[in-house]
Structure 1
Amino acid sequence: MTCLCFILAALSASPKCNCPVDSILQAILLGVIEGVTEFLPISSTGHLLIAQHWLERRSDLFNVAIQAGAILAVTLVYRLRLLDLATTWRDPGTRDYLAKLATAFGVTAVGGLIAKKLGAELPETVVPVAWALIVGAFVIFAVERWNRGRPIVEAVTWKVAVAVGVAQVVAAVFPGASRSAAAIFAALLMGLSCRPRAAEFAFMVGIPTMFAATSYELHKTLGNPAAVQAESWTELGIAFGVSAAVGFVTVKWLMKFISGHSFEPFAWYRLGLGTLLLVML
């Protein structure tokens, strides 16, 4: 993860280049960054905005769609779990879990639309992202300390579902907060103390959330001929594929990691990167 800091530091010393090959390489780099950071509690949107501070600025569709690429990786990692939910939907336990997923998604969708109507947009500078990274680091430290030593609880309750939905809206409004981090730590605070179980629920909710967000941005873009013409669809497709491939590896690694470790290493990373950005800018 820390290699991203060195990449960005190196990029800051060189001017932007708009040649086609360079633009494709940038799309690949953004796909890698997205695939790595989407599921780690360090903010994928924040990292994309940080990278695009020095690289070519991309459209909202690009930034959202490549996140959907990473989410596609979740559907592959959890394909057996999703198949089980689809084939056992008549089971009361399955229907209860699906209802809670739907509730979390519903809260996110309604809250996200309200935020859009109120004018929530991605920031033009990375300073807000830097502060969100730092604040988020202290939140992780605090939640991990609070969760330490508590009995392991794996049940997803209704208050967990609602809290995860609200947390995703907050993360969308404050890039740098991290959607996955906000959802996971909201679940932990609401009593779902098993980290892998909290991460699974957060990732499951992310599937309809990010696909819906991508559909929204795609619909908005297709309704604007100028935006359709301006969008680099080839580069978007490349970044989408790269983020999906890298995201698959990242999710597999993360689920093994948090089975025996806390999230505190990611908090230290956030604190270091946020501080570095404030010093550089």
Structure 2
Amino acid sequence: MNWLEAIILGVVQGLTEFLPISSSAHLRIVGEFLPGAADPGAAFTAISQIGTELAVLLFFWKDVVRIISRWFRSLFGSVARNDPDARMGWLIIIGSLPIGVAGLLFEDAIDSSFRSLWIVATMLIVFGLLLALADSLGRQTKPLEKLTVKDGILYGLAQMMALIPGVSRSGGTITMGMALGYTRKAATRYAFLLAMPAVFASGFYKLFRSIGDPEQTAAYGMAETAVATLAAFIVGYIVIGWLMRFISTNSYNPFVWYRIGLGLLLYILLGFGVISA
């Protein structure tokens, strides 16, 4: 991978991580059209996502600091256990457990068989349709303050599905949130907050495993990955602000049609042998 390819993949990561269209699917697809037609790999995807989550951390910095502070203080009784921010801290922890457990149990499949473009195409279409149903049928009346432990677990199970490229971490959790009756803004905000522990853990886990491993670093290059991560951070920060404004007055339908169209296009390209699975 050269520097230009790294920047392209970083920009793709930043553009697609927060939109409900699956960044891992787009990295997998774009990799097929770069010189060498190679899958960037699950490790590259996980590490470059550190950049986009740093963008989330910066964008929601005040919220994150307040939640962590009040959650920690609640452990020692200086803040009530039912304080909204302390509760949010616990709900983020609880919601992060499913993807953490599944990520360790199915790591080999995530790195290999789950990255088949046939699976990617199917997940793009199926979860696009689910997003459409949740967006159109969900009551969308509940604010984030109404989030319960049960709903936090369901959010976490939806995020767990994003281990399969094509599902979309934000798409899966936003879909679940709207299906549970939360507003678009509430569902999206919690999806962003919930993603941070899982993405940082996955990214740094893959990073530490890659350091000193010639076979892995030769596949994508640590220096190029760092450039991609920086590009993902810059672009991702811009996309977060745009998406939060967009959903305040618009539905998710444009993303639904995009997902279905991309999935069908992938089927055609795979069927005619233009790209390989």
Per the normalisation by structure 2, the TM-score is: 0.86
The unaligned stretches of length 5 or more in structure 1 are 1-17
The alpha-carbon deviation at position 169 of structure 1 amounts to: 1.4
Q: Distance in 1 between matches of 2:225 and 2:213?
A: 17
What is the aligned residue count? 256
Partner of residue 228, structure 2:
239
Aligned residue for 1:196, secondary structure, equals helix
In the alignment, is residue 65 of structure 1 matched against residue 60 of structure 2?
A: no
Q: Distance in 2 between matches of 1:222 and 1:241?
A: 18
In structure 2, what residue type is equivalent to 1:66? S
Partner of residue 241, structure 2:
252
Confirm or deny: 8 A CA contact 1:163 1:190 kept in the other structure.
no
Q: Distance in 1 between matches of 2:215 and 2:138?
A: 50
The Cα offsets for residues 127-164 of structure 1, whole Å up to 9 and x where unpaired, read as 2211111112211111112115x534432111221011
2:162 to 153, 160, 171: 171
The alpha-carbon deviation at position 73 of structure 1 amounts to: 0.5
The alpha-carbon deviation at position 241 of structure 1 amounts to: 0.3
Confirm or deny: 8 A CA contact 2:135 2:179 kept in the other structure.
no
The Cα offsets for residues 56-98 of structure 1, whole Å up to 9 and x where unpaired, read as 5324321111111111100011011112223433442221110
Confirm or deny: 8 A CA contact 2:42 2:111 kept in the other structure.
no
Partner of residue 74, structure 1:
56
Aligned residue for 2:111, secondary structure, equals coil
The alpha-carbon deviation at position 231 of structure 1 amounts to: 4.5
Partner of residue 98, structure 1:
89
Change (3 A) 1:34 1:228: closer
Confirm or deny: 8 A CA contact 1:61 1:217 kept in the other structure.
yes
Q: Distance in 1 between matches of 2:10 and 2:18?
A: 13
In the alignment, is residue 184 of structure 1 matched against residue 174 of structure 2?
A: yes
Confirm or deny: 8 A CA contact 1:53 1:126 kept in the other structure.
no
Q: Which shifted more, 153-162 or 80-89?
A: 80-89
Q: Percent identity?
A: 33
Change (3 A) 1:121 1:183: same
In the alignment, is residue 108 of structure 1 matched against residue 87 of structure 2?
A: no
Two-structure CA RMSD over aligned residues (Å): 1.9
- Which structure 2 residues correspond to residues 146-157 of structure 1 after superposition, within 5 A? 146-147=137-138, 150-154=140-144, 155-157=146-148
In the alignment, is residue 33 of structure 1 matched against residue 23 of structure 2?
A: no
In structure 2, what residue type is equivalent to 1:25? L
2:70 to 88, 94, 109: 88
Q: Distance in 2 between matches of 1:145 and 1:246?
A: 29
The unaligned stretches of length 5 or more in structure 2 are 74-78, 271-277
Partner of residue 32, structure 2:
53
Q: Distance in 2 between matches of 1:153 and 1:81?
A: 16
Aligned residue for 2:126, secondary structure, equals helix
Confirm or deny: 8 A CA contact 2:121 2:267 kept in the other structure.
yes
Change (3 A) 1:152 1:96: closer
Per the normalisation by structure 1, the TM-score is: 0.85
In structure 2, what residue type is equivalent to 1:86? I
Confirm or deny: 8 A CA contact 1:53 1:125 kept in the other structure.
no
Confirm or deny: 8 A CA contact 2:123 2:166 kept in the other structure.
yes
Change (3 A) 1:226 1:133: closer
